[in-house]
Structure 1
Amino acid sequence: MVLEFFGGLFTNSLALLSDSGHMLSDASSLALSLVALWFANRPPSPSKTYGYYRFEILAALFNGITLFLISGFIIYEAIQRFNEPPSVSSGTMILIACIGLIANALSAFSLLKKADVKGNINMKSAYVHIIGDALGSVGAIVAGIFMLAFDWYIADPIISVLVALLILKSAWGVLKQSIHILMEGTPSTLDKDETLQLLKDIDGVLDVHDLHIWTITSGMDSLSCHIVINENEDEQVILQRAIHLVLDRYKIEHTTIQIEKPNLIHPELHI
């Protein structure tokens, strides 16, 4: 990171400067992700009955926002250079970018091997940051080759914009998923209508309403609903069937199910 920053100043390369700035953001994001993991393991309290699991989602949201800001800055700086591309010390730039690429590749491999970058959105956001760094280094190498071979100095801002757009694409995925979880959205791996029908198909069930499925944090989903049953049915038997069905089919361990008889009247949730 420090090498790329001073290398960017020395070579006058936007690609290296933007990559070093991105790496600085990555270091902060990785530290935030580790803090989030520590917070998530804290026990629940009277005021935080679900514990601190959502801190991981907030960290992922913050990381996604920083990726957007960094990409926007890179694009802005690149636009300033399009009209009069400054000369760049391309040979030194390629060497420094190669060192940065090796460091990023090792970091990405280590995180991929030791963390759940697919199931845990917090770790995924950190991984996306590192991949963005690696793309920045690759972009700097490609730009350096063009400038070294053809004196085509406009390659530096062009490559910087392309890398920024790739980072934006990955950042949008993290940001979209984080917001979806914070908005209590249905997990993408579940179909609400299918779950509704699954519960309705239980023998003795007349109706299912107020079904809600949401994610507390990555890999921890919850479900709540009201099940209306026949008057002569055993509530505990049907409740047990419903709990087992949801657990076996969707791996949801935390379910809150209210069993009702047809003559029960209660206020409806208007949402």
Structure 2
Amino acid sequence: MGAGHGHDHGVSANSDKRWLAGALAVIVTFLIGEVIVGIIAQSLALLSDAAHMTTDAASIVLALVAIRLAARPATGRMTFGWKRVEILSAQANGLTLLLLALWLGYEAIRRLFEPPDVHGPLVLITALVGVAVNVLATWMISRADRTSLNIEGAFQHILNDLYAFIATAVAGLVIILTGWVRADVIATLIVVALMTKAGVGLIRKSSRIFLEAAPEHLDPERIGRDMADRDGVTEVHDLHIWEITSGSPALSAHVLVRTGHDCHAVREDIAHMLDHEHHIEHVTLQVDHASPKLLDIGVRDSDSGHCGGPHGPTHLARASVAHRH
């Protein structure tokens, strides 16, 4: 008594891997040179950018591994396959952003009181090259499917690095024009704030999926009412809406149908409505005829023999609500 759909995302996944791999090659090449220049210039902003770019590279590698694992078919005990690995990757990216922000924030505050000599021209030149590199890498990853929280995690790493290089370039210019070396530290603190915001956002979104909360763009109350208002339906309960992975909402529910209506036809009608009006394709419905006892005197479903006690709110057809009142 269910409706489901299978989808082949192979072409999209291959395209995503190509864009990610290209961005990884660009980042690693620049990263090596930036570490050398950062040490010579004694710039915390450059070294912090290099540290961030290291996590950028790691986040892309993690995303590529997650894409490869997520493509594995559902077998054995892994009945959903390995799709949740992508969410683990996104959460790991969020955590690394927060940890890196914590370390850089500490170093920046320490340098506010004991600022080292910073070579402004080297900082400026390297930062400008870094802006160009990150614009290219950001564009590459933006071409991949960013509805995937896994890819969005890698994208946020690269985007924040772009912001970091812009701030570092400004700091280098300030040092050249004024000699104020603390500009390097201020640039680092700006980057820390941006990294914290991105990290918190990734962790919040990935945690919603792990907690099996309904996707933010779907309203379970409205969906429950829409299901209960379909022709022949008297009640909907045990309604659960969650995401297996980002962009893959799923729904399950127990639907009670009036006597005389075709359960199979009602199920097909509800599945069609959920697909076309709410864009939920992965649907599992248990459909039963409501007992006469339930229809006549409004006995709870737990007394009708269908369930051992419904979980969550119950959605009644409007005709049933009017009858009970």
Tell me which residue corresponds to 1:215.
Answer: 243
Q: Does 1:116 align with 2:142?
A: no
Partner of residue 308, structure 2: 267
Partner Cα separation in structure 2 for residue 76 and residue 192 of structure 1: 43
In structure 2, the partner of 1:48 is 78
Secondary structure of 2:162 counterpart = helix
Match of 1:139 in 2: 167
In the TM superposition, what is the alpha-carbon distance from 1:120 to its structure 2 partner? 1.0
CA positional deviation for 1:200: 0.9
Which blocks of at least 5 consecutive residues in structure 2 are unaligned? 1-30, 292-303, 313-325
**Amino acid in the other structure paired with 1:116:** D
The reply to whether residue 246 of structure 1 matches residue 287 of structure 2 is no
Task: Say which is worse superposed, 249-258 or 31-40, in terms of deviation.
Answer: 249-258
**How far does residue 269 in structure 1 lie from its aligned partner after superposition?**
5.0
* Contact residue 237 and residue 311 of structure 2 kept, 8 A: no
Task: Map residues 86-97 of structure 1 onto 2, 5 A cutoff.
Answer: 86-97=116-127
Matched AA of 2:106: Y
Which residue pairs with 1:29 in the alignment? Answer: 59
Counterpart of 1:249, as a letter, is: E
- Return the match for 2:109 from 79, 82, 89: 79
Match of 2:132 in 1: 102
TM-score (norm. length: structure 2): 0.80
Amino acid at match of 1:268: G
Whole-angstrom CA distance in 2 between matches of 1:269 and 1:185 = 18
What is the TM-score normalised by the length of structure 1? 0.96
Q: Which residue of 2 aligns with 1:57?
A: 87
Report how far residue 84 of structure 1 moved: 2.1
Aligned residues: 269
Q: Residue type matched to 1:80 in 2?
A: R
Q: Tell me the CA shift for residue 219 of structure 1.
A: 1.9
Cα pair 2:218 2:278 within 8 Å, conserved: yes
- Structure 1: give runs of 5+ residues left out of the alignment: none
Higher CA-based Rg: 2
Q: What root-mean-square deviation, in Å, do the aligned CA atoms of Structure 1 and Structure 2 show?
A: 1.2
Quote the offset at 1:233 in angstroms: 1.7
